[in-house]
Structure 1
Amino acid sequence: MAKKAKTLEYVEPIGARVLVRKDEPKRETRGGIALPDAAEIPTITGRIVSISAQIENDEDVPLRQYDKILFHPKNAIPVDLEHDNQLFVVPVEDVVAVFRREAGGDED
């Protein structure tokens, strides 16, 4: 009898969208001040899990898989794939920043 291959479910964004895993909310500031649960910050950070084919082929949109981004959650659509899921489909126009590290060059 042939073994049935295990299939994994995944989400592929369509159009000008990216799939983002939201970072855990910070409960404390760097100075150690505890933040109440009701404190909502209008933009949140996360990592791009996957990007749509449209974004991948658009040279004007500098987003790539695994980029850390800052995004506005207003139009983010939650993806209910896991019980503790933090995945969101985010329109590209709601991505407000990408975190980049400058490559350390040789000093002359």
Structure 2
Amino acid sequence: MSDWVEPLGMRILIRKDESRHTTKGGIVLPDKAEIPNITGRVVEISVQIARDDDFPIKKYDKVLFNPSEAIPVDFEPDNVLYVVPIEDVVAVFRRGDAKTTEVSSAEEQEFEDPEDWDE
């Protein structure tokens, strides 16, 4: 029998990516200057989110999340699992053909041209 964590309510379980100790330019940072990392992979999704079409999140998606409400899960020795409310997920990284939303001409007309604004 294996153990696992199942998030309840409108929450997901995320495995946080490792924090960077080196910048993209190759500069090694001291431990105290570590760049905060708020990306991770979705490990598990609650039943409510799986059934809700408004949240296009699936297992193994890479996500960007706000860590302020993330709850650390003391389940693994490296403690990189977090239960995160779905409203704290701010982006999902996608590859390949991204879905784009077509804007109708009627919707375009709702937006004013900034040059037409009175000062």
Do the structures match in fold with TM over 0.5? yes
Partner of 1:31: 25
Which of residues 62, 73, 76 is equivalent to 1:79?
73
Q: Tell me the CA shift for residue 86 of structure 1.
A: 0.5
Structure 2 CA distance for aligned equivalents of residues 49 and 67 of structure 1: 8
RMSD of aligned Cα (Å)? 1.7
**1:93 counterpart = 2:87:** yes
Structure 1 CA distance for aligned equivalents of residues 48 and 21 of structure 2: 36
5+ residue gaps, structure 1, are 1-6, 104-108
Tell me the number of residue pairs that the alignment of Structure 1 and Structure 2 aligns.
98
Deviates more, 1:57-66 or 1:40-49: 40-49
Q: Which structure 2 residues correspond to residues 52-67 of structure 1 after superposition, within 5 A?
A: 52-67=46-61
Q: Tell me the CA shift for residue 100 of structure 1.
A: 0.3
**In percent, how many aligned pairs have the same letter?**
62
Which one has a larger percent helix, Structure 1 or Structure 2?
Answer: 2
SS in 2 for 1:38: helix
SS in 1 for 2:87: helix
Structure with higher Rg: it is 2
**1:13 counterpart = 2:7:** yes
Structure 2 CA distance for aligned equivalents of residues 38 and 75 of structure 1: 22
5+ residue gaps, structure 2, are 98-119
Say which structure, 1 or 2, has more relative contact order (CA 8 Å, 6+ apart): 1
Q: Tell me the CA shift for residue 38 of structure 1.
A: 2.8
TM-score, scaled relative to structure 1:
0.83
Moved over 6 A (4+): none
**1:102 counterpart = 2:58:** no
Q: Tell me the CA shift for residue 64 of structure 1.
A: 0.5
TM-score, scaled relative to structure 2:
0.75
